[in-house]
Amino acid sequence: MSPFKALTWLVSPLALLALWAAVADAALFPANLLVPPLEVWRSFADLLATGELQEHLAGSLSRLSLGFAAGALAGLAFGTAMALSDTVEAYCAPLFHTLRQIPSIALIPMLVLLLGIDETFKVVIVAKTAFFPVALATVEGIRAIPRSHFEVAAVYRLRWPTLVARIALPAAVPAIVTGVRVALTRAWVVLVACELLAADSGLGQMIEMGRQMLRIDVVMVGVAITGVIGFALDFSLRRVERRLSGWQVAGR
Amino acid sequence: MNAIAPSFPAHVQTGALSIRNLSKTYPLKGRPVPVLQGIDLDIRPGEFVSILGASGCGKSTLLRLIVGLDPDYQGQILLDGQPLNGPGLERGIVFQDHRLFPWMTLQQNIALALKNHDLGTAQKQRLVDEHIALVGLRGYEQAYPHQLSGGMAQRGAIARALVNKPKVLLLDEPFGALDALTRVRLQQELQRIWVQERCTVIMVTHDIEEALYLGDRVIVMEANPGRIGEQVQLELAHPRQRDTALLFQHKQRLLAQLVGH
Amino acid sequence: MKLRNLRGLLLPLLLIGAWELASRQDAAGAYAFVPLATIGDALVELLGNGELLVNLLASLARTSAGLALGIVGGVALGALMALSPLANRLVAPLFHALRQVPMLGWIPLIALWLGNGEASKLLIVSLAALYPMVLNTFEGLRQVDVRHREVGQVLALGRWQQLRLVLLPAALPSIATGVLQALAFAWVTAVGSELFLASGAGLGNLMMNAEAGARMEIIVICVLCIGLCGYLMTWLSTLLARRLLRWRPTR
């Protein structure tokens, strides 16, 4: 790509920034509704210097990892069991597919009533959000494994644990990673939503406080950081995905 | 330009194709590699020319240049004395794969070729019906391509190419993807249709028998870079019989020349 | 054989039984896990006074309006980005940057700018529907088989005809996938935005009011209603998509 073409990628973000600065500068809107970009940057630096931002970020990310680890591992185990055992499927599939229809966001009021607005509530809802996509991807990933793989296992009389660890999971890994990626981005969205509605710490709470105090600069910093984190999570798992699918093609 | 003559005169006068010193290169790792070199060819109106060659000799590239899908070449291609400029409805093409649009019925696929003609709806409908009948697909008007067999879909593609009454019909290994029996049947069909329509035809193929059976002239193309080799003139009236001694002799000779040393 | 098919009902029944049992333990249990009878009564009440229907219809109307805007805008933007390299280079960076922010994360900002009313909610729902539409339209148009494009050229179709008769139909499966995703996002986001922006009617508003009044039975009914409606809408759209895409070979 020529340097000129590479530069065109920057045109629209820079244009937006310039427009924003110009409109803020012209004072077309009240200053508390449209803060100039420089001031947002200064708030960001302030929040960073006082350590406030790091604190909120740490709060959000620790909730995310705890809830996500629990939900994803449970989803992996449950999905594997359901894909490999007809009995488990017969008993669990209808309930699983019914509950899967209920969006996590809609569960927020119910869980707040049941669990209060403490840590438990947020971890539980993140775990719930992570569980379903991972379980579903695991079921479908394992189901998509060619029969011949299992026939090889039967010929060599592999035991159950070996079958799972050596054949079912490795062959289904690319599909599962995709499920994990979807689950992680959704869990992040839902966590931020929960923190917006009910929390005493976390990025969402920082944004909500900013809104209540009409500090639009803090809100914008929060929204931008939320986007960056979401992007980073998605991007890193996409790289894992690509590497894995590359391995799969090469292995064929 | 786009008007369709209601019926062809018994003696065809348009559809003369002249190719003058045609060359084409592809860039490969930054270096130009010649695919076609110094092609000179004159095709009479209403002539059926078979271009015979091994895969990779550039014969399909030649058709793509004539139909106007690739404007990047040196030399001249003239249709009735006029230089070509992009694709046009006076040239029709049938590819090896039928390329019917899967989201349209057979009838819609064929009617699509008439999209830019100044004809009334009824007239277009009549032309589509005629051509469906011509290729023997009556009763399948409303079928989607995936509901047709390979041979039937290829008949549909031929009908689509012919419905414009093109001056020049280009066939790019039209039966190459079909099973042997269907191929023989469609070769006979094509001969019958061509005798009826008498447009200029250029058919690219690697099937010696097919080239000889259908062509007024068979041009052997040599590879690396693609250029014109031997030309065989077949003074034999259409419709032909497959087992004619003349065709058999030519076949043995071309086979020996192309395959054996 | 018949009995074996009923195995799937065992767990749901156990779950409901456990819920009922928990509600009968003590006052706290009855507060958190309301008895089934109470839920039934609340359902009758909500249906009787029309509250459920009014709020459901409000949410559905919001979803459909946002979905319609998102589909139209998304197909247009996706097509523009797929067909014009220049437009793609200009728009894509901004689009992909903005799309990283979780949908509901925009709510505080939009609420500050546009207020708590219908405009904010509609904007959020439309944006939620827009993203998948742009992505899927773009991918669908980019992946149109070059062999089909060539037929469009050979038949001397104009640019507009090629778009309408070749490119868009070829991208239709991908666009249909986009609509299914957009529908799910729009529905969730509609209910979500109602939770945050507490004005006007909607299932989310009904739930928030119920939360404030600790009416668990109403929340349960709303959750079931949201799940059921989401399922029904997806099912209907799948049927519609299958009808539209009936030209595709079925395997």
DSSP for residue B11: S
Give the per-residue SS3 of B178-221: CCHHHHHHHHHHHHHHHHHHCCEEEEEECCHHHHHHHCCEEEEE
| pLDDT for res B6 | 40
A206-210, B46-50, B65-69, C196-200: least confidently modelled range: C196-200
Neighbours, chain B (3 or more CB pairs < 8 A): C
C3 touches B at CB < 8 Å: no
Which one, of B151, B167, B187, lies nearest residue B92 by Cα? B167
pLDDT in tens, B168-215: 999 999 999 899 999 999 999 999 999 998 899 999 999 999 999 999
Residue in this structure with the two tokens 């494994």, named with its chain if needed: A145
Does the pLDDT of residue B5 top 70, yes or no? no
- The answer to whether residue B136 is domain-embedded is no
* Average pLDDT across chain B, whole number: 90
Residue ranges making up the domain that contains B251: 13-45+55-90+206-261
B102 touches C at CB < 8 Å: yes
pLDDT in tens, A212-247: 888 888 999 999 999 899 889 988 998 988 887 665
Contact (CB<8Å) A113/C216: yes
**Mutate which: B4, B85, B100, B103, vs C, most C CBs within 10 A:** B103
Domain ranges of chain A: 37-245
B17 touches C at CB < 8 Å: no
When pLDDT is averaged across residues B226-243 and rounded to a whole number, the result is 90
- CATH number of B240's domain: 3.40.50.300
Contact (CB<8Å) B146/C247: yes
Coil, helix or strand at residue A82: helix
| pLDDT for res B51 | 96
- Dist. CA B52–CA C110, nearest whole Å: 68
pLDDT in tens, C180-233: 999 999 999 999 999 988 788 999 999 999 988 888 899 999 999 999 999 999
- pTM comes to 0.85
Does the pLDDT of residue B3 top 60, yes or no? no
Query: Would you place residue B4 in the very low, low, confident or very high pLDDT band (cuts 50, 70, 90)?
Result: very low
- The answer to whether residue B211 is domain-embedded is yes
- Chains C and A touching, counted as 3 or more CB pairs less than 8 Å apart: yes
Nearest to C101 among A108, A210, A223 (CB): A223
Does the pLDDT of residue C1 top 60, yes or no? no
pLDDT in tens, C49-84: 999 999 999 999 999 999 999 999 999 999 999 999
- Dist. CA A17–CA A247, nearest whole Å: 41
Alpha helices (H) along chain A: 3-25, 37-49, 52-84, 86-99, 104-115, 119-143, 147-155, 160-162, 169-197, 203-212, 216-251
pLDDT in tens, A111-149: 888 888 888 999 999 999 999 999 999 999 988 888 888
* Average pLDDT across chain A, whole number: 87
| pLDDT for res A246 | 60
Does the pLDDT of residue A107 top 80, yes or no? yes
- Dist. CA C37–CA C35, nearest whole Å: 5
Nearest to B93 among C154, C170, C248 (CB): C154
For residue B67, which residues of chain C lie inside 8 Å, CB to CB?
154
DSSP chain C: -HHHHTHHHHHHHHHHHHHHHHHHH-HHHHHHS--HHHHHHHHHHHHHTTHHHHHHHHHHHHHHHHHHHHHHHHHHHHHHHHH-HHHHHHHHHHHHHHTTS-GGGGHHHHHHHH-SSHHHHHHHHHHHHHHHHHHHHHHHHHT--HHHHHHHHHTT--HHHIIIIIIHHHHHHHHHHHHHHHHHHHHHHHHHHHHHS--S-SHHHHHHHHHHTT-HHHHHHHHHHHHHHHHHHHHHHHHHHHHHTTTSPP-
- The answer to whether residue B148 is domain-embedded is no
Chain C nearest-CA distance from A38, in A, is 18
Q: Is the peptide bond before B9 cis (omega within 30 degrees of 0)?
A: no
The nearest alpha carbon in chain A to C16 belongs to: A95
Contact (CB<8Å) C165/B113: no
**What percent of chain B is modeled with pLDDT above 90?**
74
Contact (CB<8Å) C97/A109: no
CB proximity under 8 Å: A 197-216 to C: 197, 204, 207-208, 210-211, 214, 216
Query: Would you place residue C116 in the very low, low, confident or very high pLDDT band (cuts 50, 70, 90)?
Result: confident
For residue B104, which residues of chain C lie inside 8 Å, CB to CB?
169, 247
Does the pLDDT of residue A252 top 50, yes or no? no
The nearest alpha carbon in chain C to A109 belongs to: C211
Does the pLDDT of residue B260 top 70, yes or no? no
**What percent of chain A is modeled with pLDDT above 90?**
35
| pLDDT for res B49 | 96
Nearest to C102 among A188, A197, A219 (CB): A188
Chain A nearest-CA distance from C242, in A, is 21
Does the pLDDT of residue A248 top 70, yes or no? no
Is the domain spanning A37-245 CATH 1.10.3720.10? The answer is: yes
For residue C158, which residues of chain B lie inside 8 Å, CB to CB?
116
Contact (CB<8Å) A211/C195: no
| pLDDT for res A3 | 65
Q: Are B181 and B216 in contact (CB under 8 A)?
A: no
Which one, of C106, C126, C107, lies nearest residue C186 by Cα? C126
- The answer to whether residue B120 is domain-embedded is no
A189 touches C at CB < 8 Å: yes
| pLDDT for res B90 | 92
The nearest alpha carbon in chain A to C226 belongs to: A102
| pLDDT for res B39 | 93
When pLDDT is averaged across residues B57-79 and rounded to a whole number, the result is 93
| pLDDT for res B175 | 94
CB proximity under 8 Å: A 48-87 to C: none
B101 touches C at CB < 8 Å: yes
Contact (CB<8Å) C227/A113: no
- The answer to whether residue B215 is domain-embedded is yes
Query: Would you place residue B9 in the very low, low, confident or very high pLDDT band (cuts 50, 70, 90)?
Result: very low
Where is pLDDT greater, at C8 or C141? C141
Q: What is the CA radius of gyration of chain A?
A: 23
- The answer to whether residue B126 is domain-embedded is no
| pLDDT for res B12 | 58
Instruction: Sort strands B48-52 and B217-222 into parallel, antiparallel or unpaired.
Output: parallel
* Counted domains in chain B: 1
Does the pLDDT of residue A250 top 50, yes or no? no
For residue B87, which residues of chain C lie inside 8 Å, CB to CB?
153-156
| pLDDT for res A24 | 84
Q: Are C165 and C157 in contact (CB under 8 A)?
A: yes
Beta-carbon contacts below 8 Å between B and C = 56
For residue C192, which residues of chain A lie inside 8 Å, CB to CB?
103, 105, 193
For residue A223, which residues of chain C lie inside 8 Å, CB to CB?
101, 105-106, 108-109
Does the pLDDT of residue A31 top 80, yes or no? no
ipTM (interface pTM):
0.86
Neighbours, chain C (3 or more CB pairs < 8 A): A, B
| pLDDT for res C58 | 95
Contact (CB<8Å) B146/C249: yes
B144 touches C at CB < 8 Å: yes
Contact (CB<8Å) B112/C165: yes
